[in-house]
């Protein structure tokens, strides 16, 4: 029990109030040695920053294993109008174009969570949203 007025709502009523924001989650699977990524890292970062500044990129970054080591895999969440658009965005990543990573795309409908501040992680700028 949450102790709020929400306690009296049915499941359909709760679901009806949820955000239902559509994003696309891109799992980027490494196809080569992690050190090969160094060849295209600058291009990749500039591409991701461009997506961020254009409002397409929501979240992105490398994945690490349980020891803390980078795996060479990555995860990206974008805004796109369709699977086709999300696929085109994923395939323009310099890591993908070079054959270093293979993207797998999922449509992700976000219902719960809280966001109250816009932060561009690449240059540490922020704004109230």
Residue 41 lies in a domain: yes
> In this structure, are residues 93 and 47 in contact, taking their beta carbons and an 8 Å threshold?
yes
25 is a domain residue: yes
Question: Per-residue confidence at 55, pLDDT binned at 50, 70, 90?
Answer: very high
pLDDT attached to residue 43: 98
Query: Does the residue 119 lie in any domain?
Result: yes
The answer to whether 77 and 26 have CB atoms below 8 angstroms apart is: yes
- Kindly indicate the confidence band of residue 35, based on its pLDDT and cuts at 50, 70 and 90: very high
pTM for the predicted model, two decimal places? 0.78
Total domains present in the chain? 1
- The single residue listed with the structure tokens 């995860």 is 75
Distance CA 41, CA 24 (A): 22
Domain of residue 85, residue span: 19-128
> Alpha-carbon distance 104 to 25, whole Å?
8
Judged against a pLDDT cut of 80, whether residue 116 lies above it is answered with no
Is residue 79 in a domain?
yes
Asked whether residue 40 is domain-assigned, the answer is yes
Distance CA 5, CA 115 (A): 22
CATH number at residue 95: 3.30.70.1060
């Amino acid at each position: 029990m949450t102790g709020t007025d929400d306690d009296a709502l049915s499941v359909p009523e709760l679901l009806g109030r949820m955000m239902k924001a559509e994003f696309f989650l891109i799992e980027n699977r490494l196809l080569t040695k992690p050190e090969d990524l160094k060849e295209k890292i600058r291009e990749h970062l500039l591409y991701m920053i461009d997506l961020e500044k254009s409002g397409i990129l929501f979240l992105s970054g490398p994945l690490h294993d349980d020891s803390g080591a980078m795996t060479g895999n990555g995860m990206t969440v974008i805004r796109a109008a369709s699977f086709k658009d999300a696929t085109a965005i994923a395939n323009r990543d310099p890591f993908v174009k070079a054959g270093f990573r293979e993207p797998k795309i999922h449509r992700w409908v976000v219902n719960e969570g809280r966001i109250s501040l816009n932060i561009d992680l690449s240059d540490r700028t922020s704004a109230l949203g």
